[in-house]
């Protein structure tokens, strides 16, 4: 099934994909939120280095996730928040 919220451009696509991959394990892990945050953080750090952008902090990861909570496009909103931080916006 096509994901209408999946970003089309990098680095957002890679960060979003890392989140989606980890989110598949929610039913089997009690620490799923920590694992999702870690996966997003690691993807964001990798992308920041690859694209020569600012490396987000774990605090940025948590803040972005909190801002995205409750939105239909939760993963995308979280991702775009981080990309804006990484690009200095």
CA distance 32 to 55: 23
The answer to whether the peptide bond before residue 11 is cis (omega within 30 degrees of 0) is yes
**Interacting residues of 87 by C-beta distance below 8 A, sequence separation 6+:** 53, 54
Name the residue ranges covered by the structural domains of the chain.
Answer: 12-86
Q: What is the model's pTM? A: 0.93
CA distance 82 to 89: 10
pLDDT reported for residue 28: 87
| 3-state DSSP assignment of residue 53 | coil
pLDDT mean for each 10 residues of the chain (89 residues)? 92 98 89 95 98 98 96 96 96
Q: Which two tokens stand for residue 22?
A: 């980890």
pLDDT reported for residue 60: 98
């Amino acid at each position: 099934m096509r994901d209408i919220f999946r970003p089309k451009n990098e680095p957002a696509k890679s960060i979003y994909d890392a989140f989606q991959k980890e989110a598949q394990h929610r039913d089997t892990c009690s620490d799923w939120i920590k694992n999702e945050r870690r996966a997003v953080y690691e993807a964001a750090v990798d992308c920041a280095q690859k694209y020569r952008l600012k490396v987000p902090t774990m605090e940025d990861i948590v803040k972005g996730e909190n801002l995205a909570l409750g939105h239909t496009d939760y993963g995308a909103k979280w991702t775009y928040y981080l990309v804006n931080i990484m690009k200095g916006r």
